Structure 1
Amino acid sequence: MTETKVSWLPWSEESFRKAKELDKPILLSISAVWCHWCHVMDQTTYSDSEVARLIEEKFVPIRVDRDQRPDIDKRYNMGGWPSTAFLTPDGEILSGGTYIPPEHMKALLEHISSFYQKNKNNIKSRIDELEKEMEKPSVEYGLGSEVFHSVIDGLTLEIASLFDSLHGGFGNSPKFPHSNALRLALLQHHLQGHEAALNIVKKTLTEMRNGGIYDDEEGGFFRYSTTRDWSVPHYEKMCEDNAKLLVNYLEAYQVTGERLFRDTAKGIVAYVKATLSNQENGGFYGSQDADEAYYNLRLPERVKRTPPRVDKRLFVNWNCMMSSAYLLASVVLDDRTLQDFALRTVNLLLDKSCSPENGVAHYIMEGESHLFGLLTDQVHMMECLIDCYQLTLDRNFLSRAENIAGFIMDKLWSEAGGFYDKPRATGGFGALNLLDKPLEENSVAADALLRLHYLTGKQKCLEAARRTLEVFASGIQRYCIMGCDYGLAAELYLHPMQVHIVGSRKDYVTRRFLAESLRAYNPLKVVEVIDPDVDSERLKRLGYPVADVPTAYVCSEGTCNLVEDPKKMGKAVRQFGGKDDGN
């Protein structure tokens, strides 16, 4: 971040102790290296001598990096970045905002300090009360499938009602991609044959690709558009966003066969390879800073300038997302180099960020791992490891995914159902004493646990996934379009497709079956190769006969179809349980 005149302290027990000893409120600044207005606030407000003097005199200033500490950001974010939160020494929120210019900040500092000194004895912390409220069981278990169908119908209606038929996307400005809404819409087209749902996806992805939110010169997408028509982007580029959009364009190409979607996917990959990855050692970088002047240049002019700064920290959840997207791209685009790089990255993460006792770390910086046990990193690692297993047939990946599943069920599970975002033991002080159950990460957890159940038959995974879905079912409406990742997990619970390929893993025909299964669009499929020489117990439980040549079984809704020709595998996966798009 930009240098300022404020002497920032880290988020730590010592900093909170200092606030209590000095009896001063805390100024908490939540920033991000890629955030344009964070840099502006550092260059203006926090570089103003009078602002710095007031902060030093009347507050204990704490600076937190949003990407490094998503758990703090989730609890103290005031509506965007930068987030400016004024807290009691116990971590209770007094007031706050986002970007605050110098003159406004001076007045606010005086007001908050005075308010705290006059009212500190009457300020009652609600942290304990909120914690008790969170623990009250209010969930109905044993829900029938009709409840999940109703939730999905509601999400589908929300997608349709918010769709911008003129420019694509959802709502007005600022306009974000909403990748999971696009994935759910495409899935509804596949399952129900809704052409309107397909049009939402095609229109949005086409308008985004042809709009200013896509970088025509170097590839990749900016974070969001400040305008309804995608013409004026906010210029930072994020690993997370490009990973999600890569999946969107790959799946759209799988369904439609349209060249624009394939070429856009290739453009994202080219950008990530050139700028947002460590090609020598593996790993995907976190982000690239916003720089409007740079990005408004054509490529010949850009190469003469220093490009915007790249944040080279490896955030594990985002690395897992991009690795999974790369694995899909390697199959859909028929590019083995993408698989190789994804696997190199995953092996790096397994080596550097995984602890049997503490779970998966959140980020790797200068070779060291930090902040273990957050739900987001556990669940995205599980999903990624399952993707690795399906593509490589290496059981080590499946075993590591099962280990992480055991960790989250042991350390993060709530007796009321669902998973907390962090282990209880890491609370400490402030609002981190509150345990949150985030919808997005719980949806990913349910998805990963369901896939593990379909691959291993373990009922514990199925039960945990079902209870996780149940705990959010009644309140999903308040999330609106942001609940679409829940819809994807609910569809996997309702309409799973299991593809069982029976044959030697070394057999060329087995590999053909596998490749065709993975290449075909159906995000609800779980693909497993069952080698009679290695998986005899699994084969016995499933009851499949062993033929002279490899065969495959595509199973959905309690029915299995036998496929004996690898050339017919793609159609079987697309068609069985959905509408065959013919691509």
Structure 2
Amino acid sequence: MNDETLVEWREWGPAPFEEARAADRPVLLTLTAPWCHWCDRMDEEAYANPSVAANVHDDFLPVRVDIDRHPRVRERYQMGGFPSTVFLTPGGDIITGATYMSTESLRQVLDRVRETWDERGEAAGRVPRALQDPDPPRGELDGEVEGHMLEQVRDAFDEEYGGWGVDAKFPLPSAVGFALKRDRDRATRTLDAVYTHLYDTYGGGFYRYATERDWGDPHREKLLDENAAVLRAFANAYLYTGEEAYRDPALGTRDYLTTTLWTGDAFAGSQAGGDYYTLEPAERESADPPRVDGTVFADRNGLAIDALLRLHAYTDDEAAGRYAERALDHVRETLVDGGEVAHYDGGATGLLSDGARLLGALATAAQVLDPSYVDDARAVADRTIERRLEDGTFADGPADGPGLLSRPLRPLETTVELADALVDLSLLTGRAEYRTVAREALSAFAGARHRMGVEVAAYATAASRIVRPPLVIEVADDPGSDLHRAAWRVADHEKVVVPNADGEAGTARVLVDGERSAPAETPEELGRRVGEFS
């Protein structure tokens, strides 16, 4: 929190809501993040204004939330960007809200909300539609979703500037991942634009997004999860093309993660944005870099570990593998207990995003480093299913807490991440029940498949791996052997590699939809076997 704010913020919890009810006041909730430049601006301007602060203290109960530490609060209350300034009833319902506001704008809104509260009280609040009826639109899981998404990839593509959409441009790594296998030209053209406009060529890593259609005016925050997802997209592009233009940004991002964001044990959550990134290299040398939030988050580390392990598998890059393994072991030792995952050291446990993303990392580690990681993967999967699965859908966390936390939220994106990891785990263990759970969870959203856009392309990827089982390469050899390395270099980033599989030692077999190939003894022969099944 910026020291210049004059508002005496309460921490999120039941107490401020109880105090607001007793005092008959609405709650002023601000959602901020340690990487958020505009959050700092609002602290330095509006919340540092003495009359605004006095107004807040007289008429509201001010509560401040770090969205990285409280993702369930973020998902229920964010207003489309950060900071989010949200006015609530003492019961936690939303009266109104906005993102960044100037001093004068905030002053006017404070007056209007107070008048509304005096006139209507609790009746002024509303519950967002997604929380009124949390049951997703169920349907049959079939091949139509893949075809629909392919149309979306084509129709929404910006042929002039690359990427998808005609307003702000986001990297959309899940759309890139879907397209790499099905529309490679648009995928690589998007990555070319992302690298040109969002990559920090001096410090490494990618900025969050650009506010203009032509990728201009970027927001320069660097988040671990977003960098991990983009790193994975570039690594996958290198797998398909073999071009250094995609390998080098992945390696540069690896350097950023393993230096600037390396805590000594695992990966830090984020680095703030700001004007520092507009300085020339010589000027940067003498300037203080933006702050790094050193919190080790389970979900963000899961994404980074997965991405680095894939980069290692595709390129033999030892640093990527070594740092990924160190981070994974640290997260297992400090944040996992009997399959229960803590969001961060001392944070909430049982969040769906932590279970899903760490499960993905463990499943990838079992394929790249050591099959024994399957044991921890099963423990995380079983615990996540036990705690979060209800009527075939997954909730983002326990249905308790102040405000709207008592209402369940069924997040599509996180469900997709979990389902994808469960498919991997099913193929690694031979346990069909994991795939069954994944199918049921994805089917819960299938009724909306024709309304889905490219921003949820990962749903189509995961659904296709259920409808048409992915390529599996069973390697009867140790991780790191020539055959194992060759299996990872097969140009299909949706495949599963099973090391130390049953079979004649020193051979590999291709498995597609229940049909196995003859054994291959050399990388060249394995390539021919894959070609026979494609």
Q: Pick the TM interval, shorter chain.
A: over 0.9
In the superposition, the TM-score normalised over structure 2's length comes to 0.95
Matches within 5 A, 1:205-284: 205-211=191-197, 213-278=198-263, 281-284=264-267
Give runs of aligned pairs for residues 26-175 of structure 1, distance below 5 A.
26-120=27-121, 122-123=123-124, 133-134=133-134, 139-140=138-139, 143=140, 147-175=141-169
Q: 1:115-172 CA deviation, whole Å, 9 max, x = no partner?
A: 1122126457658x9867335x8634xx3xxx53111111111111111112111112
Q: Which moved more, 1:25-34 or 1:103-112?
A: 103-112
SS of match in other structure, 1:372? coil
Deviation at 1:239? Answer: 0.9
Q: What corresponds to 2:359 in structure 1?
A: 382
Contact kept, 8 Å, 2:309 with 2:364, in 1: the verdict is yes
Shift in alpha-carbon separation, 1:175–1:322, aligned structure 2, 3 A: same
Q: What is residue 288 of structure 2 aligned with on the other side? A: 306
* TM-fit CA distance, 1:572: 4.6
CA 1:577–1:472 in structure 2 vs 1: closer, same or farther (change >3 Å)? farther
Looking at structure 1, the residues matched to 74 and 111 of structure 2 have their Cα atoms a distance apart, in angstroms, of 25
Q: Percent identity?
A: 31
Distance 2:28 2:287 in 1: 37
Instruction: Tell whether 2:260 aligns with 1:287.
Output: no
Contact 1:130-1:434 at 8 Å conserved across structures: no
Aligned residues: 532
Of residues 189, 196, 201, the one that matches 1:203 is: 189
1:528 aligns with: 498
User: In the aligned structure 1, how far is the partner of 2:131 from the partner of 2:172?
Assistant: 31
**Paired position in structure 2 for 1:581:** none
Instruction: Summarize the Cα distance change of 1:169–1:138 in structure 2 as closer, same or farther, 3 Å threshold.
Output: closer
Per the alignment, do residues 573 and 300 of structure 1 end up closer, same or farther by CA in structure 2, a change over 3 Å counting? Answer: farther
**1:295-314 superposed Cα distances (whole Å, 9 cap, x missing partner):** 22232221111111111111
Deviation at 1:184?
Answer: 0.2
Equivalent pair of 2:272/2:290 in contact (CA under 8 Å): yes
Q: For 1:571 and 1:298, locate their aligned partners in 2 and report how far apart those are by CA, in whole Å.
A: 47
Aligned AA (1:56): H
Once the two structures are superposed, what CA deviation does each residue of 1:88-117 show, in whole Å capped at 9, x if it has no partner?
Answer: 000010111111111121121111112112
Q: Distance in 2 between matches of 1:126 and 1:296?
A: 41
Aligned CA distance change for structure 1 residues 572 and 311 (closer, same or farther; 3 Å): farther
User: How far off is 1:57 after superposition?
Assistant: 0.4
Amino acid at match of 1:421: D
Contact 2:59 2:114 (C-alpha < 8 Å) held by counterparts: yes
**Which residue, out of 380, 390, 393, partners 1:418?**
393
Per-residue deviation, residues 449-494 of structure 1 (Å, max 9, x unmatched): 1111111122221211110111011113444112211111112212
Residue 207 of structure 2 aligns to a residue whose secondary structure is coil
Q: Deviations over 1:44-84 (max 9, x none)?
A: 11111111011100000000011111100100111111101
Q: Residue 375 and residue 572 in structure 1: after superposition, are their counterparts in 2 closer, same or farther (change >3 A)?
A: farther
Partner residue of 1:179 out of 173, 180, 203: 173
Match of residue 492 from structure 1: 465
CA RMSD of aligned residues (A): 2.1
3-state SS, counterpart of residue 31 of structure 2: strand
Please, which runs of 5 or more residues in structure 1 have no aligned partner?
Answer: 189-196, 532-538, 540-545, 579-583
Q: In 1, distance between residues paired with 2:434 and 2:100? A: 44
Query: Which of these residues, 340, 343, 350, is aligned with residue 362 of structure 1?
Result: 343
CA contact (8 A) 2:393 2:410 kept: yes
Distance 1:341 1:73, change over 3 A: same
| Deviation sequence 1:501-540 (CA, Å, 0-9, x none) | 235x49xxx8221111113231222111346xxxxxxx4x
Q: Identify unmatched segments of 5+ residues in structure 2.
A: none
Cα distance, 1:174 vs structure 2: 1.4
Distance 1:577-1:242 versus aligned 2 partners, 3 A rule: farther
For 2:476, the equivalent position in structure 1 comes to: 502
Report whether the alignment pairs 1:398 with 2:383: no
Q: Is the 8 A contact 1:360 1:374 kept in 2?
A: yes
The whole-number CA distance in structure 1 between the counterparts of 2:69 and 2:525 is 43
**CA–CA distance in 1 between the matches of 2:412 and 2:335?**
24
Partner of residue 552 from structure 1, selected from 508, 511, 517 = 508
Task: Normalising by structure 1, report the TM-score.
Answer: 0.87
What CA distance in whole angstroms lies between the structure 1 residues aligned with 2:525 and 2:364? 19
The residue type paired with residue 523 of structure 2 is K
Quickly say closer, same or farther: Cα 1:99–1:461, change in 2 above 3 A.
Answer: same
Question: Partner of 2:358: helix, strand, or coil?
Answer: helix
Query: In the alignment, what sits opposite 1:459?
Result: 432
CA distance in 2, matches of 1:62, 1:262: 44
| SS of alignment partner, residue 168 of structure 1 | coil
Instruction: Indicate the residue corresponding to 1:542 in structure 2.
Output: none
In the TM superposition, 1:436-447 aligns within 5 A as 436-447=409-420
Counterpart-to-counterpart distance in 2, 1:132 and 1:99: 27
